[in-house]
């Protein structure tokens, strides 16, 4: 017996989650099945809509305005501007006070761990006091055991953008003798619990000890930016106490993988799915597909060697891109492994790449082409299946790292695909 629902979403990243919410809001009974963890855990937690145009112009000031100018075939053009706005509204509802940026259509410029300033549409509340356009002398504080955040370099990079305030950086030893390879969650949990740590022959709560070390460098700065490790369950409390002790506002700088803001976002969005009643099953891939009369009849999940069939009226493919293997390649070509959807690509592998690392590589845009109902198209531009839609980084026609559009495309196409699928049942 198959597990039956109205809409089955395959893939549990940002696109799959948005799709499940979109379909649920149309009154459909929805199930989301996902294999492994999504790229949300590696991503910064910033929700980039469009930071640069496909031609490389930018930073884009108003992403909504720029989205209207995108060429045919770009995922935003396929989904439509109304879908982008609706998806961002859904994201704001789901995340509540956890995220900032909804007060304006314009991009914020957020300092990131490499010292870059990122144009982004939504940013964690914990990063809000640090946005580059807000004035205030800024001190970045890094930890000597966390080499991926070099605070003096981040300060220099911010200064080089010409901001009209002081920027400085200090690297300190995190109190409590953490191992050099300590995970970000180890820092966060210490701060969450305000554990006692040994400092100079005595012990004191870690938040106090950290504030004492930072005070040596505060020198009148209005705000202090730390790598994003300031607590997990009690993050707001940790930031508030540090701010109080330092007499300055405190913010987090989004980090690379593994990313605490990404983990916090994933937790919140799964909690939201649970709250609205979407059924979720994780840990098992969809490995097979049965079709009838041009439609998907059912798909088969691999539950550690046991075949489990899932049946729905509508299906959404949200299995990710090249990073998550939602799109795969070998010497023969480029594939979409679940439904074997068409993935346009040059026959000669040498045409997939350019010589320079930062050149415009064809492979960056590999993915499934879709019509304006987000149905994957075959080589003759005919929908592969009437009841299949695709969303997120499995889609082709855009280069998210260059455009800074990764999370935005996943949210917009996911939500739109979900609404369309939900509406058809």
List of residues contacting ligand FAD (CB under 6 A): 10-16, 33-36, 38-40, 42-44, 46-48, 257, 285-286, 318-320, 323-324, 326, 338, 392-393, 400, 406-407, 410
Residue number with CB closer to ligand FAD (174 or 415): 415
In the structure encoding, which two tokens stand for residue 113, read together?
């761990």
Residue number with CB closer to ligand FAD (11 or 422): 11
Residue number with CB closer to ligand FAD (197 or 269): 269
Peptide bond into 21 cis (omega under 30): no
Closest approach of ligand FAD to the CB of residue 11, in Å: 3
Closest approach of ligand FAD to the CB of residue 251, in Å: 16
Residue number with CB closer to ligand FAD (35 or 207): 35
Angle of helix 260-276 relative to helix 184-193, nearest 10 degrees?
A: 70
Residue number with CB closer to ligand FAD (324 or 422): 324
Cα–chain-centroid distance for residue 323?
13
Closest CA to 62 of 92, 111, 101: 101
Q: What three-state secondary structure class fits 227? A: strand
User: What residue ranges in 249-313 does DSSP mark as E strands?
Assistant: 249-253, 279-282, 286-292, 295-303, 306-311
Strand partners, 300: 288, 309
Closest approach of ligand FAD to the CB of residue 416, in Å: 13
Closest approach of ligand FAD to the CB of residue 61, in Å: 17
Burial tier of 382 (Cβ tally within 10 Å: 0-12, 13-18, 19+): exposed
Closest approach of ligand FAD to the CB of residue 186, in Å: 21
Residue number with CB closer to ligand FAD (106 or 213): 106
Closest approach of ligand FAD to the CB of residue 387, in Å: 17
Residue number with CB closer to ligand FAD (49 or 197): 49
Closest approach of ligand FAD to the CB of residue 192, in Å: 24
Closest CA to 78 of 317, 377, 370: 370
Task: State the sign of the Cα–Cα–Cα–Cα dihedral 214, 217, 222, 223.
Answer: negative
Closest CA to 396 of 423, 367, 376: 367
Closest approach of ligand FAD to the CB of residue 16, in Å: 5
Measured distance CA(243)–CA(43) in Å, rounded: 26
Residue number with CB closer to ligand FAD (204 or 280): 280
Closest approach of ligand FAD to the CB of residue 150, in Å: 18
Q: Are 220 and 177 in contact (CB under 8 A)?
A: no
Identify the residue whose tokens are 């220099």.
156
Residue number with CB closer to ligand FAD (147 or 287): 287
Measured distance CA(267)–CA(74) in Å, rounded: 30
Measured distance CA(232)–CA(266) in Å, rounded: 12
Phi, then psi, of 151 in degrees rounded to 5: -60, -45
């Amino acid at each position: 017996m198959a597990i039956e629902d109205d809409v089955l979403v395959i893939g549990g990243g940002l696109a799959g989650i948005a799709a499940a919410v979109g379909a649920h809001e149309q009154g459909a009974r929805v199930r989301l099945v996902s294999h492994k963890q999504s790229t949300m855990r590696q991503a910064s937690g910033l929700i980039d809509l469009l930071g640069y145009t496909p031609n490389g112009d930018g930073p884009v000031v108003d992403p909504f305005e720029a989205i209207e100018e995108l060429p045919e075939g770009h995922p935003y053009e396929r989904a439509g501007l109304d879908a982008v706005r609706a998806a961002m509204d859904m994201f704001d509802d789901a995340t509540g006070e956890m995220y900032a940026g909804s007060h304006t259509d314009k991009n914020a410029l957020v300092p990131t761990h490499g010292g870059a300033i990122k144009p982004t549409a939504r940013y964690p509340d914990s990063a809000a006091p640090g946005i580059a356009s807000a004035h205030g002398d800024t001190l970045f504080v890094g930890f000597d055991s966390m080499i991926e955040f070099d605070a003096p370099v981040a300060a220099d990079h911010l200064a080089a953008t010409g901001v009209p305030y002081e920027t400085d950086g200090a690297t300190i030893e995190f109190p409590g003798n953490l191992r050099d390879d300590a995970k970000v969650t180890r820092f966060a949990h210490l701060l969450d619990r305000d554990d006692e740590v040994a400092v100079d022959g005595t012990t004191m709560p870690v938040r106090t000890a950290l504030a004492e070390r930072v005070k040596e460098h505060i020198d009148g700065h209005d705000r202090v930016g730390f790598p994003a490790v300031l607590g997990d369950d009690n993050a707001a409390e940790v930031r508030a106490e540090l701010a109080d002790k330092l007499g300055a506002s405190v913010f987090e700088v989004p980090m690379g993988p593994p990313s605490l803001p990404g983990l916090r976002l994933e937790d919140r969005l799964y909690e939201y799915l649970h709250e609205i009643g979407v059924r979720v099953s994780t840990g098992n891939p969809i490995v097979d597909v049965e079709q009838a009369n041009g439609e998907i009849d059912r798909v088969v999940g691999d539950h550690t060697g046991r075949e489990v069939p899932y049946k729905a009226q509508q299906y959404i493919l949200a299995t990710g891109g090249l990073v998550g293997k939602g799109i795969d390649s070998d010497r023969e070509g480029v594939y979409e492994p679940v439904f074997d959807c068409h993935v346009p690509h040059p026959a000669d592998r040498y045409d997939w790449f350019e010589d320079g690392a930062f050149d415009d590589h064809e492979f960056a845009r590999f993915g499934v082409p879709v019509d304006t109902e987000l149905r994957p198209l075959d080589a003759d531009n005919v929908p592969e299946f009437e009841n299949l839609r695709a969303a997120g980084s499995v889609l082709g026609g855009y280069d998210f790292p260059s455009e800074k559009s990764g999370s935005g495309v996943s949210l917009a196409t996911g939500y739109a695909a979900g609404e369309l699928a939900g509406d058809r049942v």
